[in-house]
Amino acid sequence: MQVHELMTKDLKLIESTASLLEAAELMRDRDVGVLPVTDGARAIGILTDRDIVVRALADYRDPAQTTVREVLTPRVSTIYFDQEVSEAAELMAKDQVRRLLVVDHQQAPVGILSLGDVATGGKALSSGAEALRGVSQPEHEHAWQQSTKP
């Protein structure tokens, strides 16, 4: 199975000059926790919801005045859209990341592949993979979420 078969294709990029407030609003509106960051047409990093909290809010930075460039994660692990998912899993383990930026052969971002995508799209080989598959299902309703009203 190739990466493009499992990746999230509806990719939204954010410019490095955007404010953290803009980024947070985009994450909220798109229901995502990561945005690839660009400087023009080139990807220069990734911004996660965790970056915003740990590198900005916890340091009392004003999200309306702080730019994405100031808190992004500059190290980006990438994989080509036509590589095998097994290669992606190996790269995630090697780089100790949960997401890969998927690029075409001109290095343009075309998607995101998450550990959850791999777990929910591939065949589970262990109980740990089964657990991750259940946690990663976006519309999975847990028992505690079900109504107990008669």
Q: By percentage, how much of the chain surpasses pLDDT 70? A: 81
Distance of CA 113 to the CA centre of its chain: 7
What confidence tier does 122 reach under pLDDT thresholds 50, 70, 90? low
For 120-147, what is the mean pLDDT? 50
Domain positions in the chain: 3-121
Q: pTM to 2 decimals?
A: 0.75
Coil, strand, or helix at residue 46? strand
Hey, what CATH topology would domain 3-121 get?
CBS-domain (3.10.580)
Mean pLDDT of 115-121: 83
Contacts of 75 (CB under 8 A, 6+ apart): 45
Q: Residue 2: its pLDDT value, please?
A: 92
- pLDDT tens digits, one per residue of 61-103: 999 999 999 999 998 899 999 999 989 988 988 888 889 999 9
What's the CA gap between 20 and 25, in Å, rounded? Answer: 8
Q: Return the ∠ at Cα 121 (arms to 2 and 52), rounded to 5°.
A: 95
Give the pLDDT confidence score for residue 23 in this predicted structure: 97
- Give mean pLDDT, residues 9-29: 95
Query: How many Å is the Cα radius of gyration of the chain?
Result: 17
8 C-beta neighbours (distance < 10 Å), count: 15
Mean pLDDT of the chain: 83
- For the cut 50, the answer to whether the pLDDT of residue 142 exceeds it is no
pLDDT band at 138 (very low <50, low <70, confident <90, very high): low
